[in-house]
Amino acid sequence: MAVRLIECDRTQSAEILAILNEAIINSTALYDYKPRTMASMDAWFDAKFTGNYPVIGAVDESGRLLGFATYGMFRERPAYKYTVEHSVYVERDCRGRGVGRLLLEALIERAKAQGYHVLIGGIDGDNAVSIEMHKKFGFTFCGEIREAGFKFGRWLHLHFYQLVLDTPANPVDG
């Protein structure tokens, strides 16, 4: 399967929404209960574009979106300006084929290019595949919030993994 990376825009909204909603309905990758709406994608893309945050897609030879990755603000306080929280989602039928790895690698490179210092991943504690993928890229476990969520009739433990980058070259206050 030939995969290439693209910069996603609103034309991929329906495909991104389908990937997100499948994860909401069938997994604990998102701690949501109800599928998102197409209208919610406008606000989502607005936040990405306003913050200059990438939305990187992986597409096959026909242009079908196989997965996407993005990051956004970690916390609103100004001293967190060099830290972002990221997400990687892969279409159900494409998992285990290296798509997530390609997306995470591209996201790390983009974070470096934009001068970020820390990438944070909030991962459900039972998501061994995502945890292992992050570890392969050098992410380290940095904390757990036990019983942070409740879904599918059980308590969910949220694990945090971080990757510290050697950027920015000259961080500044303010």
User: CATH code at 76?
Assistant: 3.40.630.30
Looking at the chain, list the stretches that DSSP marks H as alpha helix, in order from N- to C-terminal side. 13-26, 38-50, 99-113, 128-136
* 41-97 pLDDT tens trace: 999 999 999 999 999 999 999 999 999 999 999 999 999 999 999 999 999 999 999
Best CA proximity match to 69, nearest among 108, 124, 41:
108
Size of the chain, expressed as the number of residues it contains: 174
What's the pTM value of the predicted model, to 2 decimals? 0.95
Does 173 map to a domain?
no
The number of domains in the chain is 1
Instruction: Look up the domain containing 75 and give its range.
Output: 4-164
